[in-house]
Chains A and B, each alone.
Chain A
Amino acid sequence: MNGTGRIERMRGSGTEVKATVAPGVRLGSVSFVWRPWLAFVTLFLAAATFLLFCLSISIGDFPIGLSQVIATLFGGGEQVDEFVIMDLRMPRALAGLVVGIALGVSGALTQSIARNALASPDILGITQGASAVAVFLITVSGGAAATVVSSVGLSAAALAGGLGTGLLVYFLAWRRGIDGFRLILIGISASAMMEAITTWLLVKADIKDVARAQAWLVGSLDNRSWDEVWIALWGTLGLLAVVTCVAFQFKPLHFGDDVAAGLGVRFGVVRAILLLCAVLLAAVAVSAAGPVPFVALVAPQVAMRLARCPTPPLVASGMVGALLLIGSDLIARTALPITVPVGVVTAVIGGPFLVYLLVRANLK
């Protein structure tokens, strides 16, 4: 029914069909469609991200000029500034950058693969899985839990939890292929289960631990150390490298099962690899900053509309994610009368923004 409708529409206005044909660019085995507007938007977003990154470093109890920040970042600058910038503020800013990019790209991948704007890591249970493990370790003090935290760290344990849940969802949803709708439904059920476990842990726990767990649960960039940032940074870079190699060779990752079957087994494997990367990216982000809400859901949607693409563009989504997270963190620690975790701000910005997008799209 849908198909015939589209054919008729195509017949009615032949120009529309022609307009979608864009020039292709091929470099060896890498090929992509050259979209000048997308390239411009991506460059603009990258520049804005860098500026905001520097701004985030320059603002604080001890203000440092923007030019000095940039000078220090590129090796110049004074000794005093270097200490404040590199040792005190850089980990936080870098964590924001990395987590934002990871969440943005992860959201773009999951939304493309599931062909559904709702399919963000929050919906697929990855964040909830990581949270459940983290809350378990925070609230069940002593014994094996303490050993786990002291030896591998809370972040690494949360990473394992997120990855475990993500894989579980993937394998449960696999049934002669991955169907986006089934993936979302299984994801919803997995996240509900993880949330139930988290809630129960919170009910049973001591109120002091609950406050700590709750603070972790909302997502925060406070007190990041270089150690934590390095793990997130290398993890994200490695995963982005894989995504880049795979995604550029197989552009049509958003096609459904039928098309995938037509394109052969290899395409299915590629899509599985990309989904795994998306899960890992989200898990890395959650392990570094807690389940910061909304970034993975909103960033790809914003990037898609800015770049006027039919599906979320990967690079631009990452940039929007970073902008959203660093900007929110800046607001969280400077603009408000009380200091709140960054997750509160991303939600307060992201929620209405999503609604605004919807209303505007509907009114058009």
Chain B
Amino acid sequence: MSTTAVERPVAGVVDARRRRAVGLGVLVLLLVVMAAVSLAVGARALTPAEVWHGLFAGPESDRRLNEIRLIMETVRVPRTTLAIVAGIALGVGGALIQGYTRNPIADTGLLGVNAGASFAVVSVIAVFGLSSPFQYAWFGFLGAAVAGVVVFGLASIGRGAGNPLTLALAGQGITVFLAAMTTAVALSDRESLNALRFWNAGSVAGVDFDVIWPITAFVGVGLVLALSTLPALNLLNLGDDVARGLGVNIALSRTVGIAAITLLAGAATTACGPIAFLGLMVAHVARYLTGPDYRWLVPYAGLLGAVVLLFCDIVGRLVVRPGELEAGVVVSLLGAPFFAVLVWRGKFKSA
């Protein structure tokens, strides 16, 4: 990245770089706006002044302001925070998965991460009778990690390693297997069936900071790992042989990448339930905006993920009032046609 006198970039490259940096700024701005809207919109709509008071004012005598503060603290702020954290995690995770598998349709759902988390959550509810998300979230995380590692491990045995189809098939195999086991458990235990159907919809609501902080820590570690692996990922996409020739430690870089993906997707899935499509979708949009350089693509995908998840959560709160549509449902309902349009316009080519 450094512009020394020896390798001064030509004017076009500088232009492109500036354009991408501006784009990044625009996305950050968009994220801030979305977050503000997310704080203001809900069962009780708040004015910007009320939001401000609720966020920053201390305890006051005014009963109405205290009420607003309570809404902010217990509902809106956790919800908005989780949407941002999970959105970034899923966006970056999606971009990384597509990079490491060289598979344009790769998604965390495809790799069994969601299925692993569901199975673990439902099992511990049925076996131990756990009821709070804080208790079973850890098992969900464990399930996601185990499933992700198993799928990657299976797909990287022998000659077919790195083949997109091998990975997709291994992921599909594990996913369907786990989904069936999950259903079998859920059918025998009404408590876990009930938990499963809510968790399965994918929602950023109703989660406390008790859960959000640890999740954020995991996402943070995942992001650091992800950023550290980006230059190697760029080279890996030139092909394994070229990358090896250029001095990339392929095994190490893959391991770091897998760890990052598992941390990011596992954490997001544990907190919100399976949110399909988000990572897949924003990774494609990011690629469309930035081109194939992962050092730009991944930050774009992360910010886009947060913006889209916030947007979907807000839409879900507005469309079926006084009820709510879960964010995961809205992501699928908006994402699927959007994705279909991209496909139809010939944006994706088979790898």
Contacts and interface: CB of A to CB of B under 8 A. Distances in A.
A358 B160 contact: yes
A343 B326 contact: no
Contacts of A347: 176-177, 179-181
Given A214-B193, A343-B180, A192 B277 contact: yes
Nearest to B167: A358
A363 interface: yes
Contacts of B176: 122, 293-294, 297, 347, 350-351
B158 A359 contact: yes
Interface string B176-213: 11111101101110100110011011100000000000
Contacts of B161: 362
B160 A340 contact: no
Contacts of B318: none
B346 to A, nearest CB: 8
B343 to A, nearest CB: 4
Contacts of A273: none
B105 A184 contact: yes
A24 interface: no
A361 B160 CA distance: 8
Interface stretch (A32-40, A194-202, A229-237): A194-202
Of listed A200, A341, A353, residue having the most chain B CB within 10 A: A200
B166 interface: yes
Contacts of B340: 172, 185-186, 189-190
B336 A344 contact: no
Interface residues of A, number: 55
Interface string B214-241: 0000000000000000000000000000
Nearest to A336: B184
A325 to B, nearest CB: 14
A189 B198 contact: no
A194 to B, nearest CB: 9
A362 B161 CA distance: 8
B264 interface: no
A166 B18 CA distance: 45
B338 to A, nearest CB: 8
Contacts of A116: 165
Of listed B161, B333, B336, residue having the most chain A CB within 10 A: B336
Contacts of B331: 196
B183 A217 contact: yes
A344 B183 contact: yes
A338 B184 CA distance: 10
A116 B276 CA distance: 22
Contacts of A359: 154, 157-158
Given A186-B343, A359-B158, A364-B159, A214 B187 contact: yes
A186 B168 CA distance: 17
A352 B175 CA distance: 10
Interface string A175-186: 100000110111
Nearest to A351: B177
B197 A192 contact: no
Contacts of A218: 180, 183-184, 187
B132 interface: no
Contacts of A210: 193-194, 197
B186 A214 contact: yes
Contacts of B144: none
Contact of A348 (B105, B180, B197, B337): B180
Contact of B170 (A207, A297, A355): A355
A347 B185 CA distance: 14
Contacts of B188: 338
A184 B280 CA distance: 14
A199 B328 contact: yes
Contact of B276 (A195, A202, A297): A195
A118 B169 contact: yes
A181 B158 contact: no
Nearest to B104: A185
Contacts of A175: 344, 346
Contact of A118 (B160, B168, B174, B202): B168
A341 B348 CA distance: 38
B315 to A, nearest CB: 13
Contact of A203 (B159, B190, B198, B335): B198
Contacts of A344: 180-181, 183-184
B332 interface: yes
Contact of B348 (A173, A181, A297, A358): A181
B159 A354 contact: no
Given A118-B172, A203-B326, A210-B193, A362 B157 contact: yes
Interface in A315-364: 338, 340-341, 343-344, 346-348, 350-355, 358-359, 361-364
B109 to A, nearest CB: 9
8 contacts: A185-B343, A189-B343, A203-B329, A293-B176, A347-B180, A348-B177, A351-B180, A364-B159
Given A185-B105, A199-B200, A341-B184, 5 more contacts: A188-B339, A192-B335, A210-B193, A218-B184, A294-B176
